Chain A
Amino acid sequence: MVLLVEDDPSVREGLGLALRRQGHEVRAAPTGEEGVERLRESRPDIVVLDIMLPGIDGFETCRRMRSHAEVPIIMLTARGDDFDVVAGLEAGADDYVVKPVEPRVLEARIRAVLRRTVSEPSSVERHGSLLIDRAGLQVLKNDVKVALTPTELKLLLELSRTPGRVLTRQQILEAVWEHDYLGDSRLVDACVQRLRAKIEDVPGEPGYVHTVRGFGYRFGPR
């Protein structure tokens, strides 16, 4: 089920129609406040969130939604501004699409985000104080479950699959976001920041996800 938060009735109706034709069940909300409420009562699989909203804006809506649930969020950026993209990703969005959006592109992004968490028949791995359960699709830190969004979880699974090996941003984009080319590497950077905030002992001194300047990221406990 897709929760569409969009203030413009025509866009709401048009995108709703297109998404329904793709086989999604669609709930729509005209404001951020209503969107947060709908999220609580209906538990959607994914949220498509406009940034320019009356009342609380898309960034704030995104933050409030994040505090309730680990639901994937795709932002509709009205301007395509770098500032909007960065702010949206910092607020916790998993991906973004620039308006006027091609329905095909939005559909592809939604499918990619929904595909993000696939359980694997694999053993439980321990990396330092982190316990990664690939089959149960959960991560424990000091035996406490870490609440990760599907994207964050998939990023961690991809990075930890090959500890010590450097993955370029492009490789990560292709593996996690399924962007075939032209990926926006800021998606990776923002998601790594969020992941670090949840799994690192000291977020300022990463112990699990290391930045390899000019290349990408490497997983490995100290």
Chain B
Amino acid sequence: MRSLLRGLRPRLMAAFLLLTVLGAVGAAGASYATARTLLLEDAQDSFMNPLVQNVREYAQRLTVPPSQRDLDDFAAFLRGSSVVTFEGMRSGNGPDPSFVPAEMREMLESSRTILWQRRTDMINPYVVVGIPLLRADGTPTGVEVWAVTELTATQTAINSFSTAAWVGVSLVVPLALGLALFTARGVLRPVRRLGAAARALGSGRLDTRVDVRGSDELADLARTFNAAAEQLEASQAASRRFVADVSHELRTPLTAMNAVTGVLDEDAGTLPPDTAVAARLVSAETRKLTRLVNDLMEISRFDEGRNLLELDDWDLGTAVRDTLAARGWTGSVEASLPEGVVVRVDRRRLDVIVANLVGNALKHGGVPVRVTVRPGVVEVADHGPGIPADALPHIFDRFYKADTARSRSEGSGLGLAIAWENARLHGGSIEAANAPGGGAVFRLRLPS
């Protein structure tokens, strides 16, 4: 809802609409006003000009003060469209002078010019014209000519004109909206593509790139995005390469050291006590270091995508039982391993996953450790203290230690990360959670 109201599209559409309506209404309004004035003036002129002409012509023959007969004659001369008044008298023909508004009558008494008013207090608009007759010295004679005419035809013309203006505006509005949508699409499409690419980049897919189209600012932005992503990918590749290289360089000396740890162990008993302790220490640490380097190499291979799956159909329960047996865990783990659950997996990698999960549970969880096989699922539950809530999201991170007091774990610190990568390579997943009754539960899900 938020994006619907605040998005770029509605804002663009609102702006386009506002501009269009303002422009159209402004233009239509201005031309309407001009046309209206012109039409009205034209109508008034065509009514008033002959009237004034006739009044002027007759005024020369009029005697002041006029008699009733003079007034009648005058009005007749004006062909009945007007009424002529003089101090309470009025011509017998012509319209009833009550149509003249009081204020106009009052104004005309002191006026030396023609007065006219356009009035709209009736159904149809009309024009009232008052003409004072003056003496030669300019003082009013008291004789007044009043005329009235309706402007119905003119008003109709004006109305149809305004209707046309409104129709024009209403036709332009959808056009403007369409244009706004089109423009918004042109802007929003690349913005949306960039947004999706940024999300992908943020989720770790550093090989994400966007298509650069055109040469506008958005294309520039896309180019900048691609350059940034490339940089990020290169620096990540470099750091991974470094880890791989370091591990590789450690390998040769470790092979030599590892080859002789057996000799140290065997002969430690015959060495002086201090030397024996030192020999056993070197031997044990060499083995740990070997494990760490092996795990680092394995992780590097995952990072570089060099690990391949060798899929085959295996009985899940049997495979897990073999893994437990091979490591001598059969006696220390409660297992529920029904046969008949067939999965398509890389057997070696499945072994790595299960061994790491069970090894982790035996090391950090509490007894009893329980391993359960269900269709497509291997569950490893322990009865230890469980995983702290703040550690749960990081439990599969490399070298992550839930218990910060433990300076160095017995394993490489990469076991769960390797298990997770192996599960992912299969298209499966591992979830870590705390059981309602206490203890941690790791659940391996394999694709069916």
Interface residues of A, Cβ cutoff 8 Å to B: 8, 10-11, 13-15, 17-18, 21, 76, 78-83, 98-104, 169-170, 180-182, 184-186, 214
Shortest distance from the beta carbon of A165 to any chain B beta carbon, whole Å: 18
Residues of chain B within 8 A (CB-CB) of A81 are 301, 306
- A21 near B347 with CB under 8 A, answer no
A103 CA to B286 CA in the complex, in Å?
A: 13
- A11 near B348 with CB under 8 A, answer no
A21 CA to B326 CA in the complex, in Å?
A: 26
Q: B255's contact among A17, A101, A184, by CB below 8 Å, is which? A: A101
B341 within 8 Å of A (CB atoms): no
- B252 near A18 with CB under 8 A, answer no
Given A14-B256, A181-B351, A100-B294 contact (CB < 8 Å):
yes
A104 CA to B287 CA in the complex, in Å?
A: 12
Supplied contacts A80-B297, A80-B301, A186-B310, 14 more A-B pairs, CB within 8 Å: A11-B252, A11-B256, A14-B258, A15-B255, A15-B256, A21-B262, A21-B266, A80-B298, A100-B293, A101-B259, A102-B258, A103-B258, A170-B347, A181-B326
Q: B259's contact among A15, A184, A185, by CB below 8 Å, is which? A: A15
Q: A21's contact among B251, B263, B323, by CB below 8 Å, is which? A: B263
B207 within 8 Å of A (CB atoms): no
Name A14's closest neighbour in chain B (CB-CB).
Answer: B259
Q: A11's contact among B259, B262, B298, B313, by CB below 8 Å, is which? A: B259
Number of interface residues of B (CB under 8 A): 33
- A182 near B351 with CB under 8 A, answer yes
Q: A18, A182, A184, A214: which has the most chain B beta carbons within 10 Å?
A: A182
Q: B251, B257, B261, B293: which has the most chain A beta carbons within 10 Å?
A: B251
Residues of chain A within 8 A (CB-CB) of B262 are 18, 21, 103-104
B248 within 8 Å of A (CB atoms): yes
Could you write out 19 A-B pairs with CB less than 8 Å apart?
A: A11-B252, A11-B256, A17-B259, A17-B263, A18-B259, A18-B262, A21-B263, A76-B255, A80-B297, A81-B301, A82-B307, A82-B308, A99-B252, A100-B254, A103-B258, A170-B347, A182-B347, A182-B351, A214-B312
Name B244's closest neighbour in chain A (CB-CB).
Answer: A79
B328 within 8 Å of A (CB atoms): no
- B348 near A100 with CB under 8 A, answer no
A78 CA to B253 CA in the complex, in Å?
A: 12
Shortest distance from the beta carbon of B258 to any chain A beta carbon, whole Å: 5
Residues of chain B within 8 A (CB-CB) of A185 are 310, 312
B260 within 8 Å of A (CB atoms): yes
- A18 near B322 with CB under 8 A, answer no
Residues of chain A within 8 A (CB-CB) of B306 are 81-83
Residues of chain A within 8 A (CB-CB) of B310 are 184-186
A96 CA to B406 CA in the complex, in Å?
A: 37
- B251 near A78 with CB under 8 A, answer yes
A51 CA to B294 CA in the complex, in Å?
A: 18
By secondary structure, the B interface counts as helix
Residues of chain B within 8 A (CB-CB) of A14 are 255-260
Across the A-B interface, the 6 shortest Cβ-Cβ residue pairs: A14-B259, A10-B256, A100-B254, A14-B256, A100-B255, A11-B256
- A11 near B308 with CB under 8 A, answer no
B356 within 8 Å of A (CB atoms): no
- B248 near A79 with CB under 8 A, answer yes
Name B348's closest neighbour in chain A (CB-CB).
Answer: A182
Name A13's closest neighbour in chain B (CB-CB).
Answer: B256
A14 CA to B253 CA in the complex, in Å?
A: 10
A182 CA to B310 CA in the complex, in Å?
A: 12
Shortest distance from the beta carbon of A208 to any chain B beta carbon, whole Å: 23
- A182 near B260 with CB under 8 A, answer no
B290 within 8 Å of A (CB atoms): yes
- B322 near A99 with CB under 8 A, answer no
A171 CA to B405 CA in the complex, in Å?
A: 46
A10 CA to B347 CA in the complex, in Å?
A: 35
Name B260's closest neighbour in chain A (CB-CB).
Answer: A14
Residues of chain B within 8 A (CB-CB) of A10 are 252-253, 256
A185 CA to B263 CA in the complex, in Å?
A: 32
- A8 near B256 with CB under 8 A, answer yes
Shortest distance from the beta carbon of B176 to any chain A beta carbon, whole Å: 62
Residues of chain A within 8 A (CB-CB) of B293 are 100
Residues of chain B within 8 A (CB-CB) of A83 are 306
- B313 near A214 with CB under 8 A, answer yes
Contact with A along B281-323 (1 / 0, CB 8 A): 0000000001001100110010000111010110000000011
Given A10-B256, A182-B326, A182-B351, A100-B263 contact (CB < 8 Å):
no
Residues of chain B within 8 A (CB-CB) of A214 are 312-313
A101 CA to B257 CA in the complex, in Å?
A: 10
Name A186's closest neighbour in chain B (CB-CB).
Answer: B310
Residues of chain A within 8 A (CB-CB) of B323 are 181
Q: B258, B297, B310: which has the most chain A beta carbons within 10 Å?
A: B258
A46 CA to B308 CA in the complex, in Å?
A: 30
Residues of chain B within 8 A (CB-CB) of A170 are 347
- B248 near A78 with CB under 8 A, answer yes
Name A106's closest neighbour in chain B (CB-CB).
Answer: B259
A78 CA to B294 CA in the complex, in Å?
A: 11
Shortest distance from the beta carbon of B317 to any chain A beta carbon, whole Å: 15
A13 CA to B262 CA in the complex, in Å?
A: 14
